[in-house]
Structure 1
Amino acid sequence: MRTAAEQIRAVLDGSVGYERGLDTLTVTPAADVDPALFAAVQAACARLFERGWQPGELHRVVARRGAVPHTQLVTDAVAAHLRGFPPAAVDPRWRAQADALGAAVWWAADGGYVDGLAARWRVDRVEVLDTVLVLLGILRTLPPIEVLVPPPGSPAAGVLGTAVSGTAGTARVDDRLLDRVRALLAKAESTTYPAEAETYTAKAQELIARHSIDEALLVARGGSAAVVPFARRIGVDHPYENEKAALLDAVAGANRCYAVWSPELGFATVFGFDSDIDAVDLLHTSLLVQANRAMSAAEPSGGQAGGKAGRARLKTFRQSFLVGFAVRIGERLAQASEAAVTDAAQPPPGGAPGAAPDLLPVLAARDAQVRETMHRIFPRTVRGRGTRVDSDEGWDSGRAAADRAALHRS
């Protein structure tokens, strides 16, 4: 006679058929099954946390592969996991993701968790058992990924051979500067006038570029603690995730970062210095909003009328639009970045020595550090094939929208 835990493992490893295993668990006493199921979910999630997965990332990938109830189980697993650690043993970024998910223990006892779910969801016990088993199957398919934020209970250093973000080994954009950038981008996203959006976004990019250059020079001249390149995973959502990832890559490249797209997991890993990654994250999010707004205004009316042909045309238009937008934004961002470097490298009036003698070597050295970090983590990256453009109308509209969101310095 198998124990409940053994029955669960038999279903997951395929030695027992799924329907047969579910039936067996249904007739097994709840007092045996429920604690075993709850423990299995906790153990699976804890194992993934130790293997690099963060709460928000795990929630995102489960949402892609499962359904809303499965993500709710993940949120509960995060809350249960945190119970075992004092606040001081949890990285603030890990805690922030748990809080963003709303992770909190709402059940009275672990043994009553399954019954609590049934009451909470207003479904029968069999449906809860089925949902939990499906989640466990999803979790088994997830590979280890790089530890970028130490999981609860881990030392707050040693990630990628460096100190983690927020310690003396890294530097983040000043909160006041971030607030100014966010305010400018919010205005760019809300206005319906392209000229205003361009002005607000250009000013945000100017602030970001200037801060990055100043930080690089300050560190190089010994005026600040040494900083190290780092990495952050940025989620990319359906639909058109490949095209959205291309936009992220364009923004990353213009801000002295490198992006590695993992389509099967729904995120890109962005390598760079923390202040530059902060800029990439903010700009990418804002540009997606601007691109979607411009795309909705420019898309053909045929897709709205329904019909297979209309829907296909609309899909092709949107894909081509986003490709054109990403390519053009990359060009404009690169121009803006080069202009910022050129301005910063000029000696001050009067001919006194300025940044010119050391800025370019400093930036080159930082770029080499970032690339070395990326190649250490992803030694065998493959350059993705470009997305096919099947709609000239979408391509032209996307490039035009990118021109209106131009990020050159005003």
Structure 2
Amino acid sequence: MSTSRTVERAFETGLYGTDDTALDTAASLLAADPAADAELGRRGEEFVDTAWRRGWQPADVLRIVRRELDDTHVRLLAALVRSQAAHDRPRGPRWTAQLAALPDAPTPRTDRFSYATAVLELYRLLLRLPVLEPLEGFGAPGGAGREGRESRPESRALARIRALLAKAEATGYPREAEALSAKAQELMARHSVDEALLSAGAPAPHAPGACRIGVEPPYEQAKAVLLDAVADANHCRAVWNEPLGFSTVVGFEADLEAVELLYTSLLVQAESAMTKAEAAQRAGGRRRTKSFRQSFLAAYAHRAGTHLRAVAERTTAGAGTEHADALPVLASREAAVTDRLERMFPETTTTRLRGAADLAGWTEGTRAADDARVVPRRPLG
């Protein structure tokens, strides 16, 4: 039997069913034919390429494989994506960064049957990936008007924002974290205005883009609310896909980068504060950990969103006083973001926040958000 026929028979038997017996039979066919490995790898690259055409990106696939399978499958996927990338077209810096973030540990090779089983389990998952909304200009490589912009190195403002948030995460003093986060958010707002004015004066103004940010369990609903608040304060819009564990954030590139940075930092700060608050509750004899954490994060998201919007509005108003054309430009960009969002997601629904019924958790989460709030105390130097 030819190697391609071996792979075909294995796929017919193991990929399109759901029972373990069919999977074992298919793995046995592959294990008995070492010459089929090359063809098996080539067909895996085709599955990866199909995932890209369905709107998925490397980070998205990695996220769902981690969620549904185990570390062996994650390593198999990383090797497969790298192999496919060698034959793929350039897809921009964000894509390149996702490729660079793939795990680089080699896949442990055990017996051939176990290896073939893991490969088939991975391919089963890839085969069943649904179609997602394309992020890159509705299928256009790089998105409209973004190629030149994305090739630029990180701006000094973004580097400073990153450094401020890193310090906020590292400090053990809430008030210091508050001041550092305040500086970061105000700098983000100023950077957004500068980028908007720069873009408006360019021969071909940039169009809004989109990215996906993972919203990981547990307590993912509260985390999605926090991400939505961060996006809203930074001239972006977010749509949560609960079944697949991510939010799609739509906005201009500099604002998307700011949202990713600030959401990640606030989440780190929230989880650190939650751990300390929970320890204090336990010391007092309290044991309702799940309800406490859910309410803590819900309150944190609500309060942080209020503070974020306040500092963004204040900074934007100040920019409008300094630059007469700033507010019309920002309004035009927000309209473009809304238009892009509505074309990507013509139908969305809202959901009520569940499980935020623990008074102690809500109180502590509110207090933690106040400690990490982003209301500036003094102008940036």
Alignment partner of 2:317: what SS?
helix
Residue in 2 aligned with 1:148?
135
- State the match for 1:73 in structure 2: 76
TM-score (norm 2): 0.88
Distance 1:394 1:224, change over 3 A: farther
The partner residue of 2:356 within 389, 392, 399 is 389
Greater gyration radius: 1
Deviation at 1:251, TM superposition (A): 0.6
Q: Is the 8 A contact 2:13 2:22 kept in 1?
A: no
Q: Counterparts of 1:198 and 1:212 in 2: how far apart (Å)?
A: 21
In structure 2, the gaps of 5 or more residues are: none
Q: Distance in 2 between matches of 1:48 and 1:406?
A: 40
Give the letter for the 2:350 counterpart: R
Indicate how the Cα distance of structure 1 residues 101 and 355 shifts in structure 2: closer, same or farther if over 3 A, else same: same
Q: Is the 8 A contact 1:172 1:274 kept in 2?
A: no
Q: Which residue of 1 aligns with 2:158?
A: 178
Residue 140 of structure 1 deviates from its aligned partner by: 1.9
* Alignment partner, residue 206 of structure 1: 186
CA change 1:84–1:390 in 2 (3 A) is: same
Matching residue of 1:319: 294
Q: Is residue 232 of structure 1 aligned with residue 211 of structure 2?
A: yes
Q: What's the offset of the Cα at 1:130?
A: 1.5
Q: Is the 8 A contact 2:222 2:353 kept in 1?
A: no
Secondary structure of the residue aligned to 1:299 is: helix
Distance 1:9 1:20, change over 3 A: closer
Distance in 2 of aligned mates of 1:344 and 1:90: 35
Q: Report how far residue 57 of structure 1 moved.
A: 1.6
The answer to whether the 8 Å contact 1:172/1:278 transfers is no
Rounded Cα–Cα distance in structure 2 between residues aligned with 1:381 and 1:172: 34
Q: Choose from 299, 305, 316 the match for 1:341.
A: 316
- Determine helix, strand or coil for the equivalent of 2:148: coil
SS of residue matched to 1:101:
coil
1:47 is matched with which residue? Answer: 50
Per the alignment, residue 99 of structure 1 pairs with 100
| The one of 221, 227, 237 aligned to 1:258 | 237
Q: Which amino acid aligns with 1:241?
A: E
Shift of 1:167: 2.1
> Partner of 2:59: helix, strand, or coil?
helix
Residue identity in the other structure for 1:62: V
The whole-number CA distance in structure 2 between the counterparts of 1:248 and 1:90 is 26
The SS at the match of 1:268 is: strand
Q: In structure 1, which of residues 365, 373, 378 is the aligned counterpart of residue 345 of structure 2? A: 378
Question: Over the residues paired in the alignment, what is the CA RMSD in angstroms?
Answer: 2.8
- Distance, in Å, in 1 between the alignment partners of 2:19 and 2:85 is 34
Task: Tell me the distance in 2 between the aligned counterparts of 1:232 and 1:397.
Answer: 32
Q: How many residues end up aligned between the 2 structures? A: 372
1:336-390: CA deviations, max 9, x gaps?
A: 01111222222xxxxxxx534x333322221111010001011101112223312
Contact 1:171/1:274, CA 8 A, preserved across alignment: no
What is the distance in 2 between the residues matched to 1:92 and 1:337?
28
Q: Does the 8 Å contact 1:41/1:136 carry over to 2?
A: yes
User: 1:61 and 1:32 mapped to 2: Cα distance?
Assistant: 30
Aligned to 1:60: 63
